């Protein structure tokens, strides 16, 4: 049983870029560091319907999850997640 899968919902490219910019600014990342955002759906009871997985491709890689779609993410969500 596949409990997690990518959603068919397409995130607005401008919003994806904005969220990546916030992450880079908050973590003071070099432009060379790749940031991956993926919206996932969970089919298990109690899971949020959509969550966003964030992976920062540096050594070692950092992974975060926000229980919101990319469209719903605000800068304060990133700040709380990363805990400056």
- The CATH number of the domain holding residue 42 is 3.30.160
Q: What is the pLDDT of residue 18?
A: 97
| Mean pLDDT of all residues belonging to the chain | 87
Q: pLDDT tens digits for 60-69?
A: 999 999 999 9
Q: What is the pLDDT of residue 7?
A: 45
> CB of 7 within 8 A of CB of 40?
yes
Domain range for residue 72? Answer: 4-82
CA distance 64 to 56: 9
Q: How many CA atoms lie within 13 A of 53 on its CB side?
A: 13
pLDDT (average), residues 76-82:
92
Q: pLDDT tens digits for 39-53?
A: 988 777 887 889 999
What is the DSSP secondary structure assignment for residue 55, as one 8-state letter?
A: E
Neighbours of 68 (CB within 10 A): 15
User: Hey, what are 29's tokens?
Assistant: 């990342």
Q: What is the pLDDT of residue 1?
A: 44
Domain count, the chain: 1
Neighbours of 52 (CB within 10 A): 23
């Amino acid at each position: 049983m596949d409990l997690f899968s990518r959603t068919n919902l397409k995130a607005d490219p401008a919003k994806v870029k904005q969220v990546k910019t916030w992450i880079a600014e908050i973590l003071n990342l070099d432009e060379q560091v790749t940031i991956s955002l993926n919206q996932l759906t969970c089919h298990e009871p109690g899971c949020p319907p959509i969550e966003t997985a964030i992976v920062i491709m540096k050594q070692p890689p950092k992974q975060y999850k926000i229980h919101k779609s990319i469209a719903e993410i605000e800068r304060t969500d990133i700040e709380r997640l990363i805990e400056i």
